[in-house]
Amino acid sequence: MKFVSSRRIRNSFPRYIENYFLYQSAFSHVLSMISDSKYDCVLNLGDARDEDITPVNVVSALAGHQISSDKDPFYPMISHCKAFSREELLQNPYYRNIRLEGCELGDFRVASVIDRQYEVILWNEVICEKCDGLDSFVPRIGFWKDEPAPYYVLRDKEGEAWMSVTFNEMFTMQPAVDEARGRVLALGCGLGYYAYMAALKPDVESVTIVERNDGIIEFFNQKILPQFGDAKAKIRVVQADVFDFMPAVQDGEYDYCFVDIWNGLQEEKPYYGLRKLCGNNYRGMKMAYWLENSFLGQVATGVKAVLMEAFAEAEQEKEWLQLAISAKQLRDSGQYEFFAVADSLMQDVVIRTMEDIDYYWEFANIKKLYYEKYNDLAERR
């Protein structure tokens, strides 16, 4: 990427950088607390009155101060903070009809995990919103307002968690459940949550599950599928690696495809690899990728890092150069695939004006560029 600085860029772009770090520092603070094993600020809510346990007070507890202004960097999280109840989880059709507590077969066993009352969870993907006029990725957090219900986690014989069915999985998969129709292809079996929810729909004719792990398939066929009731007749399981399976799929063979072969955002390579493989090759079959918005949010973050690094090098100012060094160290570590994707998107870009920066700072434009590039890569295979 070529970055040509100017007086206007020099005067305006630092505000973008300061905005980015102001909000992302606040959001990262909350995310780090949620991922920790202790939630002291949430446990303190146990002594509060019910009327005091509100989204603003929950977010304030996580922030460490009372939020009283919409200029507070923690403020954007308040409107997305939801209270969850035990009944809400148990009324989900999967939990209402599928019983897996203690099920064990081969190397796998289902455990029931229980959160704590007032424990904070991530209930959905981050959402892109304007914070002080610029795009930021806001975490959507929630909390258990009463005694939590247990949720299923599939573990192997070493105790490592392979998959689960939590509020986060339910909400992040719901758009793909809503869109499913006709002949559905589900890449990845998991605990059968998506396949079951899709098969319950009258406008879904069939659900074909593609899974490579024979132990998972055996567990699903023997312990889970028999509980599907009438939806069982719609289910077919194919043992295959999706990277071998998909090239043989003819456009129009299925109407809808949902991809979930990664455990979370930490597993980037399968997402980007399958995106490159499939691209826009299936115009008669809609493709949906679990957590795609979050993966692309990471790419947008990488693009911002590229822009900030280029600005720092162009200005040769000590403060910005330190920022550039930090960004470069992260990118060169090779730990994060999204940096490489961001570099590829920005490879031939020339930045000359603030309008150029505005364009690449917008998440919608990064998504558009990403789709265009990966569709093109797939079509040239």
Distances in Å between the Cα of 306 and the Cα atoms of 137, 291, 341, 345 are 17, 23, 11, 10
| CA separation, residue 172 to residues 224, 258, 260 (Å) | 21, 12, 11
Pick among 3.40.50.2300, 3.40.630.30, 3.30.70.260, 3.40.50.150: CATH of 165-290: 3.40.50.150
Residues 6+ apart with CB under 8 A from 76: 23, 129, 131, 136, 138
Considering only CA atoms, which of 376, 285, 308, 368 is closest in space to residue 20? 308
Measured between alpha carbons, how far is 287 from 184 in angstroms, rounded to an integer? 10
Higher pLDDT, 48 or 139: 139
Tell me how crowded residue 295 is: count the other CB atoms within 10 A of its CB. 22
pLDDT tens for each residue of 6-51? 999 999 999 999 999 999 999 999 988 887 654 444 545 556 677 7
- pLDDT for position 114: 81
Q: What is the pLDDT of residues 237-275, one digit of tens each?
A: 999 999 999 999 999 999 999 999 999 898 999 999 999
pLDDT value for 247: 94
Instruction: Identify the pLDDT of residue 47.
Output: 64
Name the more confident of 197 and 144. 197
Dist CA 195 CA 236 (whole Å):
10
Q: Where is mean pLDDT largest: 104-118, 143-157, 214-228, 327-341?
A: 214-228
Contact 214, 194 (CB under 8 A): no
On the question of pLDDT at 363 being above 70, the answer is: yes
Q: Contact at 8 Å (CB) between 180 and 186?
A: no
Tell me, what's the pLDDT at 270? Answer: 94
Task: Look at residues 175, 379, 173, 176 and name the one whose alpha carbon lies nearest to residue 278.
Answer: 379
Pairing of strands 286-289, 204-211: unpaired
Is the per-residue pLDDT at 53 higher than 90?
no
Query: Is the sign of the CA dihedral 280, 285, 290, 291 positive or negative?
Result: positive
SS (H, E, C) the chain: CEECCCHHHHHHHHHHHHHHHHHHHHHHHHHHHHHCCCCHHHHHHHHCCHHHCCHHHHHHHHHCCCCCCCCCCCHHHHHHCEEECHHHHHCCHHHHHCCCCCCEECCEEEEEECCCCCCEEECCCCEEEEECCEEEEECCEEEECCCCCCEEEEEECCCCEEEEECHHHHHHHHHHHHHCCEEEEEECCCCCHHHHHHHCCCCEEEEEEEECCHHHHHHHHHHHHHHCHHHHHHEEEEECCHHHHHHHCCCCCCCEEEECCCCCCCCHHHHHHHHHHHCCCCCCCEEEECCHHHHHHHHHHHHHHHHHHHHHHHHCCHHHHHHHHHHHHHHHCCCCHHHHHHHHHHCCCEECCHHHHHHHHCHHHHHHHHHHHHHHHHHCC
